[in-house]
A and B are shown apart, each in its own frame.
Chain A
Amino acid sequence: MVLIYAESPRGKFKKTAFEAVTYGKKLADLLGTDCAALTLGTLTDDAGGLGRYGAGKVYAIADAALDHLDGQAYTAVISDAARQLGATVVILPNSSGGKSIAGRLAVRLQAGLVAGVNSLPVVEGDALRVRKPVFSGKAIAEYRMVSAVKVLALTGNVIRPEETGASVAVTPLTAVVPAGRIRVKSVKTQTGRVPLPEAEVVVSAGRGMKDPANWNIIEELAESLNATTACSRPVADTGWRPHHEHVGQTGIAIRPNLYIAVGISGAIQHLAGVNSSKVIVVINKDPEAPFFKAADYGVEGDLFEIVPKLTEAVRRFKAKN
């Protein structure tokens, strides 16, 4: 069977959990086997709802000791459940939480691991062929996993959550939760916008903005598109924008449906973090800016004129649709 760890930071599922279940269901169909989801800790969301995304069964270990991520405690209970349920494939999102446990699970389950998979595997007897982006999105690698148990960590935004089934009853599981060694003191999250790694639309700006005070036009464009804002590295390094907005090879790698780059030249290290976006729009006054080569749509001209016009056009569109 295919077991999906459906993460629920602070008691709620995020899109990553629905993506992982959708992916797990499709893989289970390819393998001709069942698909089950596992949740950990106290939930405010309904775990049974994972059935709608294709989980045939939902197991819950509702122990408050699992309310905060502790890699060792999580690994112990997930690997026990995987063994008990006879899982041959364990799927989890390659999120900040997933990265903390995927490798541990692989060691514990004596499994092969591929982190960052971006498409459904091809089944070859007992082996799986999986693909993932490498060289910061400049290439794709194909691997063949030959272990009896396999762990796959799924990149975000590569599969759309699909509601194909109905809610199911939740089966409680009891587990021995080892004492965690990581004490969580506080969690600070920005409210409002969708976090960058999960955003479907991103408006990003660079040094072409000239001054941090000019960012209001970027905020307004983002607002009109319900988008998350991002920036190039020099802009974050000089403190014009917060570090968590820095995308690229040394910042966050993202793959939104739409990436709008404003006043960013498109240096190779910047492109490395954004070239997996589905559609790229570039606004730049320099027709030679390398970013145009990576773009789907381009607007050549002064961003200070173009961005407000684009915002108005988006607003007109949204008012009609």
Chain B
Amino acid sequence: MKILVCISQTPDTTAKVSFNADNTEFNGAGVTFIMNPYDEWYALVRACELREALGGTVVAVNVGPASNETVIRKALAIGADEAVRIDAEPQSAGFTAAQIAAYAQAEQFDLIFLGKETIDYNGTAVGALLAEHLGLPYVADASRLELQGHTATVERDIEGGVEELEIDLPFVVAAAKGMAEQRIPNMRGIMMARTKPLKVVEPAPYTEWVQTVRFELPPAKAGVKMIAPDQMDELVRLLHEEAKVI
């Protein structure tokens, strides 16, 4: 088994979101960066479990600058065997997918994992873009994956339910909650990660069709209106007449 896991770096879930002076870039000053939780907890861990059961290699790939290497080393500490960093600032989902595709094309992976979405740019887009570049099937929002020889059984979360699918390798899958349990890297993993290979590759040329214009913060809430616990009829009246939601 040769498995690729796409990992992204995102601001910590508690990070304060702010932007530079002209609102064109996220302000990373004082922000802790983490591995995107879906990539770490679900995609990477399931990939490592499959490798442990079946043998093979897990490669973690990241499109990002050298400052992402702390997060990449964490992927190695959790269990990836090697890592590849495509040396470019990810500009858009289209850019990221094209870069990963250019690298993966030559490598013949049996299975490619992603997280179901990034918690920063919330694209929910890289998986399907990547799969189409590679001409492979793609399962979004997968909450379970079992392998039997060459065939996988996958559960895909759909609105209000799950769909059970059968699909032959190779394919691309985006991991959601349920796929695996979070793993905390142990001391041995952290030590080993230091010597595992981390290869840096140059980005492929790309024409950008989606330009970031600017960011803004949502309008602030007007403030909470407190209602006394014995005034529930009044709350219902407000929800009906003032808020117009019931």
Contacts and interface: CB of A to CB of B under 8 A. Distances in A.
Interface of A: 9, 14, 70-72, 75, 94-97, 99-104, 106-108, 111-116, 129, 132-147, 153, 181-190, 193-198, 200-201, 225, 243-244, 246, 249-251, 257-258, 268-269, 272, 275, 278-279, 281-282, 292-302, 305-306, 309-310, 312-314, 316-317, 321
Given A201-B246, A269-B13, A313-B235, 9 more contacts: A75-B132, A104-B129, A134-B120, A181-B168, A181-B171, A183-B167, A250-B37, A278-B243, A314-B246
A268 B13 contact: yes
Nearest to A107: B132
Contacts of A281: 235, 239
A153 to B, nearest CB: 8
Contacts of A99: 124-125, 127-128, 140-141
Residue from B153, B209, B222, B236 with most neighbouring chain A CB atoms (10 Å) = B209
Interface residues of B, number: 80
B160 interface: yes
A103 B215 contact: no
A258 B243 contact: yes
A113 B125 contact: yes
Contacts of B205: none
Contacts of A104: 128-129, 131-132, 138
A71 B177 contact: no
B235 A278 contact: no
25 contacts: A71-B131, A100-B128, A103-B93, A104-B128, A107-B129, A115-B93, A135-B17, A138-B217, A139-B218, A140-B217, A141-B212, A145-B211, A190-B161, A194-B160, A195-B160, A196-B160, A201-B245, A201-B246, A249-B37, A272-B119, A279-B239, A292-B224, A300-B229, A313-B232, A317-B246
Contacts of B65: none
